[in-house]
Amino acid sequence: MNRDSYEAMLDAVQAFHDKHEFNRHGGEDLVYRVALMTEELGEISACVSKGKSVDELAEECADLLILLIGTAISAELDLNRAFWDKMETLSRRNSRMIDGRIRVSRFGTEDSC
């Protein structure tokens, strides 16, 4: 299987969950997973705000990606499909400059996602 595919990443994270029996020991609890993702976002923020290396930032981003994929497994959702559906929605949105930075968001009457 191609290591660059979503399916390969999903299989790797599933194998990790299975190895450590996440489903039997609270590792797939969604509230717990959100707390872990919040922790990882803090570590990403620290990398950026403290000027850490790109390698350290990449490692923290990988941790968050693994948690996101694991959350998809835990919640039994199709993250791949949700990603592409959301990209399609975002591609239809307009952008605005807000406080000197570009934003692509729902600005009032645009789509409901």
What DSSP line would sit under 45-99, residue for residue? Answer: HHHHHTT--HHHHHHHHHHHHHHHHHHHHHHT--HHHHHHHHHHHHHTS-EEEET
- The domain 6-104 is placed in CATH, from the list 1.10.10.10, 1.10.3720.10, 1.10.287.1080, 3.20.20.70, at 1.10.287.1080
Write out pLDDT tens, residues 51-99: 999 999 999 999 999 999 999 999 999 999 999 999 999 999 999 999 9
> How far, in Å, CA of 15 to CA of 20, rounded?
9
Q: Taking 80 as the threshold, does the pLDDT of residue 111 lie above it?
A: no
Paired tokens of 7: 């399916």
Give the domain ranges of the chain.
6-104
Query: One-letter amino acid identity for 102?
Result: I
| Digit-coded pLDDT (tens) for 19-37 | 999 999 999 999 999 999 9
Cβ atoms of 70 and 33 within 8 Å: the answer is yes
pTM of the model as a whole: 0.85
